[in-house]
Structure 1
């Protein structure tokens, strides 16, 4: 079993409905707030921009700002 540090940032490849772990870690960082998002709690991301978001509200705000 691959062990990761409790504070290590994972590197992911985001797809339209799932993500692939490229580098193991315990969390990713929200592209807008910088807040740590545990991988098991990650629900919002952009496959187009390859970014993770901490909440639906933050994701919507980011995507509207980029339009």
Structure 2
């Protein structure tokens, strides 16, 4: 089965208030859970760590070091 670019994980550059797509794809993976996050639903990330999070709770735990 061939994967289309839209089925692959995107590579993003995370800024403080927005992100930039470096490699197209349909989703990114949560840095903590590994869960696929569709790009239109991506709301939580760390510009400092350059990683995405599936929810605000996961982002908060990660940033507080409580994983």
Normalising by structure 1, report the TM-score.
0.89
Gaps of 5+ in 2: none
Determine the structure 1 residue equivalent to 2:52: 52
Q: Is the 8 A contact 2:6 2:24 kept in 1?
A: no
Aligned residue-pair number: 63
Paired residue for 1:32? 32
- Tell me what 1:5 maps to: 5
- Secondary structure in 1 aligned to 2:7? coil
Q: Give the gaps of 5 or more residues in structure 1.
A: none
TM value normalised by structure 2: 0.89
CA RMSD, 1 decimal = 1.3
